[in-house]
A and B are shown apart, each in its own frame.
Chain A
Amino acid sequence: MSAPLLEVRDLRTHFFTREGVVNAVDGVSLSVDRGRTLGVVGESGSGKSVTALSIIGLIPKPPARIVSGEVIFDGRDLTTLSERQLEDVRGERIAMIFQDPMTSLNPTLTIETQLVETIRRHTDVPRREARRRAIELLDEVGIPNPDARIKDYPHRLSGGMRQRVMIAIALSCEPDLLIADEPTTALDVTVQAQVLDLLDDLRREHDMAMIVITHDMGVIAEVADEVAVMYAGQIVEHASAAALFARPEHPYTEALLGALPQLEDHASRSGRLTAIPGRPPSLLDPPPGCRFAARCLYAGEPDGCAEHPPELRELRPGHLVRSEHPASERARPREGAPA
């Protein structure tokens, strides 16, 4: 098997603040193959966005710094590149889209200016040719009447249409890897469905690799081939989407899935949701052992989870978990656990 397109090894990104060092990303390893989608799921502060920004070298320096680890993209370690070299990689090989398209688009410039500039910056084509390509791209991302819309300013477009423009800009360099950070969180659910369909179609047509970062397990189930679940700066479970949802192993993943209200099951009206008590630890001073121990149903005194940090280990081929108490190693299922 050939090497994956992107391989992140033991990445650590820390924020050096006045209050102390925040271990925002603490030993993350992951990989993505061409044509595949990796979903990274976690709650706020889990380090999922900082992981993405670290991969493409967009973390705010200072206060943040990649303190160790490698980001191997197509054979090159991106953490060793100069800012100039990174800009080229970002423009030509890796593109990123963010949650709020309004803050990523320049409100004072037309769509045409922004799209044509991006195209001409990375490919040496005449303006006329770039404009033709821009209209083609808008058409490809499903913007109706692209010849007319290209003259609009961003505020004239709806949220969904703006996100489509962002996707068009991201695609303009024909990236090998597209990183989408909460791409549909600001959108209505009917528009979200359309944008997710679009991203999936584009990935297939262009044989792109995709990393989709989200807090929404539904979005993960919809788009991801592989899933990494993050908690307090670490990956706690990594598996194929099918395996993760059918047989979640980490107590946190189980609890997170159990806490979700169900759209297709009416039992939740009469019952209670399985809430996770407490909240994630401060990353200023993370606990010495397992970071989920304080909220875990299975962590107990004798097992030492609270003192010794568990390693990410492979339970089955392709199914990794960072816990001393994965579901398949427990004697009996937790009471009230989802079947």
Chain B
Amino acid sequence: MSALLEVRDLVKRFPVKRGLFFERTVDYVEAVGGVSFDIAAGETLGLVGESGSGKSTTGYCVLQLMRPTSGSVRFEGRELTELSGEELRRVRRNAQIVFQDPYASLDPRMTVGNIVAEPLVVHDVGTRRDRRARVRELLDVVGFDPVYVNRYPHEFSGGQRQRIGIARALALSPRLIVCDEPVSALDVSIQAQIINLLKDLQAEFGLAYLFIAHDLAVVRSVSDRIAVMHHGRIVETGLAKDVYERPKDPYTKALLASVPVPDPARMQERKADRRKLQSAVAM
């Protein structure tokens, strides 16, 4: 069986420019340095790494929101890097994104209903009346009271806004959602609600997730498989249980050892392990 998404040797370089009037490229920064991974239908791949590791850039390149410098992104058997315009737009019906900051990613001048309906309008799905019904259904699915469809995003808390963002991503019944730090702006009690929601939606609609996050405990709670990124490369990948319990790469080991766990007694042991590991890896 072929995977839903196949990424091969993905590279993204950003030019470093100098000069005020005659701008010229003096160098390149390689944000993503050749990453490869697959995601099967209905599966979650957790992409973890620290800031600057290239994990978000990878997510944007997968959806062609940024064009990769080189490499291949095959989704449902089609090479996305070769598509543009109308063809790419059609593919995007099946591959959506949820952003980190529900304060910045929702247009403050649009009502909740219009935000969620926008993908339907753009892709010319259904009549106005169909769309209105679909919006209510979507809001209901994500646990947002459809009574508020005519309100504006600023009237809602972070958790409620993230539900709006998720409803929008679901509008076209995609098969893949790239979740870029979807819960890191939320308080713990609200974060758990959104994680549960994402899992429920996956079970209900058979969604695949590329789940990008820096919080290793959060990633473990949603992922089937894990890829650990460091300096633009995947340093370790495998089943979540294996990577978390028997990490092989020295960076993965140090990263996992650095996470504080909510248990003071266990923390003492972990601290001792961590000091050993940190001297072994130069970060």
On A, residues with C-beta under 8 Å from B are 43-44, 188-194, 196-197, 215-222, 224, 241-242, 245, 255-257, 259-264, 266, 268-269, 272-277, 279
Which one of A188, A224, A256, A269 contacts B222 once the chains associate, using CB atoms below 8 Å? A269
Cross-chain contact B220 with A193 (CB below 8 angstroms): no
Task: Give 13 new A-B contacts, CB below 8 A, not counting A196-B260, A269-B224.
Answer: A189-B255, A222-B260, A242-B264, A259-B189, A259-B191, A260-B188, A261-B220, A261-B221, A266-B244, A273-B192, A273-B195, A274-B192, A276-B189
Task: Give A61 to B192 CA distance when docked, in angstroms.
Answer: 36
CB proximity to A under 8 Å, residues B186-207: 187-193, 195-196, 199
Closest 3 CB pairs of A and B: A218-B260, A261-B221, A276-B189
Given A189-B50, A245-B263, A259-B188; A275-B258 close (CB under 8 Å): no
Question: At the interface, yes or no: B65 with Cβ under 8 Å from chain A?
Answer: no
> Range of interface residues on chain B?
35 or more
Question: At the interface, yes or no: B17 with Cβ under 8 Å from chain A?
Answer: no
A residues within 8 A CB of B257? 193
Can you list 17 residue pairs at the A/B interface with Cβ under 8 Å?
A189-B50, A189-B255, A189-B258, A190-B278, A196-B260, A219-B260, A222-B260, A256-B189, A259-B189, A261-B215, A263-B256, A263-B259, A264-B261, A268-B221, A269-B223, A275-B193, A276-B193
Which residue on chain B has the smallest CB distance to residue A267? B221
Which one of B188, B196, B220, B254 contacts A269 once the chains associate, using CB atoms below 8 Å? B220
Given A263-B217, A263-B256; A222-B271 close (CB under 8 Å): yes
B residues within 8 A CB of A192? 258, 260
A58 nearest CB across to chain B (Å): 24
B residues within 8 A CB of A220? 262
B52 nearest CB across to chain A (Å): 9
Which one of A190, A218, A242 contacts B262 once the chains associate, using CB atoms below 8 Å? A218
Cross-chain contact A263 with B216 (CB below 8 angstroms): yes
Question: At the interface, yes or no: B182 with Cβ under 8 Å from chain A?
Answer: no
Question: At the interface, yes or no: B240 with Cβ under 8 Å from chain A?
Answer: yes
B155 nearest CB across to chain A (Å): 13
Cross-chain contact B267 with A222 (CB below 8 angstroms): yes
Cross-chain contact B188 with A215 (CB below 8 angstroms): yes
Cross-chain contact B159 with A279 (CB below 8 angstroms): yes
Task: Give A260 to B266 CA distance when docked, in angstroms.
Answer: 16
A residues within 8 A CB of B51? 188
B residues within 8 A CB of A222? 260, 264, 267, 271
Task: Give A65 to B222 CA distance when docked, in angstroms.
Answer: 44
Cross-chain contact B214 with A221 (CB below 8 angstroms): no
Task: Give A274 to B221 CA distance when docked, in angstroms.
Answer: 12
Question: At the interface, yes or no: B218 with Cβ under 8 Å from chain A?
Answer: yes
B residues within 8 A CB of A264? 244, 261, 266
